[in-house]
Structure 1
Amino acid sequence: MVINHNVSFRRRVLFLNCLAVQSNKVLYLKYYLDSHSNMSYYTDAGGVINMSENKITSDLLRGHTDTMILRLLSEADRYGYEIVKLIAERSDGEYELKEATMYSSVRRLEADGDIEWYWGDESQGGRRKYFRITEKGKAAYARNKSNWEYAKRVLENLL
């Protein structure tokens, strides 16, 4: 396996520490670290998978933005930029939520009664608008997550 220098160190370590299994067969991974090449590995079926071609498109996550926001708010109250920043961090930079998309979701969640907001007491800088999840939002998050897990199982059987 040849590692791309553009791929984060954390992702390289996680990838190298994972055991790749496909159809109950261990993919024979041969690795070589070279900071100036593309990250790829060879499968036992003779195929080559170029990891730099793997991308999370907005189409894959469309419809799940509300659930991602509800997940973050179930952990703690958060302000808008913090939500955007956390989604980028937790996806290891693979997915970046645009602020406009985040605020559209927040307005929708607020209209549905899933979240509410309040002004924070910032001692320095401007006041921030914080969002918190409601009981209705917690139920919506649990329902959406359950639906996602079901869809994931179905897709794993199909792909």
Structure 2
Amino acid sequence: MAVTQSPAASSDDAFAADLLRGHTDTIVLGALRSGDRYGFEIYKTIRDATGGDHEIKEATLYATYRRLVRDGLVEAYWGDESQGGRRKYYRITDAGRAVYRSNVAAWVATRDVIDALLDTRADTHRKAHPR
């Protein structure tokens, strides 16, 4: 997955971008939960959700869309030409919703394990309650 950062991004942001790799399918499925969207609209939704700090390259997203359609997690259809050129829209399927829920549960469990291993909860607790 190609994740880019804004020019002002720091080296800490590079680590955050690395963490996004491998989660493109789940990110796209999440963007489709609230309704159908066309390809570039999904790109903007992802970019805007991070305040413009991270974006997934369009070529990577379009490969993701094709894979999600092939796997039956998303359906694609052409919109009308009422707003300019025809746009291909994507709709999450019931199978896509199930995969999204499963992937989010796996992410939460993984995050909890990493938090425990890195002892970040204790760091947060110490910052909030200095001795």
Equivalent positions of 1:115-130 (< 5 A) are 115-130=74-89
Aligned-residue CA RMSD (Å): 1.8
Which one of 11, 21, 35 corresponds to residue 76 of structure 1? 35
Q: Distance in 2 between matches of 1:156 and 1:96?
A: 25
Which 4+ runs in 1 deviate beyond 6 A? none
| Residue pair 1:113, 1:136 contacting (<8 A) in 2 also | yes
| Structure 1 SS opposite 2:85 | coil
The structure with the largest strand share of the pair is: 1
Alignment of 1:10-29 (within 5 A): none
Which of the residues 75, 85, 90 maps onto 2:49?
Answer: 90
Residue of structure 2 in register with 1:55 after alignment: 13
Q: Mark the structure with the bigger radius of gyration.
A: 1
Query: What is the deviation of 1:56?
Result: 4.4
Which residue is equivalent to 1:47? none
Given that 1:56 and 1:95 are in contact with CA atoms closer than 8 Å, whether structure 2 keeps it comes out as no
> Which ranges of structure 2 fall in alignment gaps of 5 or more residues?
1-6, 119-131
Greater per-residue helix proportion: 2
2:60 is aligned to 101
The aligned counterpart of 1:41 is none
Q: Aligned in 2, Cα 1:105/1:119: closer, same or farther, shift over 3 Å?
A: same
- Write the mapping of 1:36-51 to structure 2, written as runs, cut at 5 A: none
**Are 1:158 and 2:101 an aligned pair?**
no
Tell me the TM-score normalised to structure 2 length.
Answer: 0.78
Q: How far off its partner does 1:59 sit? A: 2.3
TM-score, normalised to structure 1, is: 0.65
Describe the superposition over 1:65-116 as per-residue Cα deviations: whole angstroms up to 9, x where unpaired.
0000000111110011001111010011121110011011111111110001
Equivalent position amino acid for 1:115 in 2: V
- Given residue 111 of structure 2, which amino acid in structure 1 is its aligned partner? K
Instruction: Report the 3-state secondary structure (helix = DSSP H, G, I; strand = E; otherwise coil) of the residue aligned with 2:67.
Output: helix
**CA distance in structure 2 between the aligned counterparts of 1:89 and 1:56, rounded to whole angstroms:** 18
**Which ranges in structure 1 are unaligned for 5 or more consecutive residues?**
1-5, 8-50
* Number of aligned residues: 111
Alignment of 1:147 with 2:101, yes or no, is: no
Question: Relative contact order (C-alpha < 8 Å, sep 6+): which is higher?
Answer: 2
Distance 1:67 1:102 in 2: 12
SS for the counterpart of 1:75 is coil
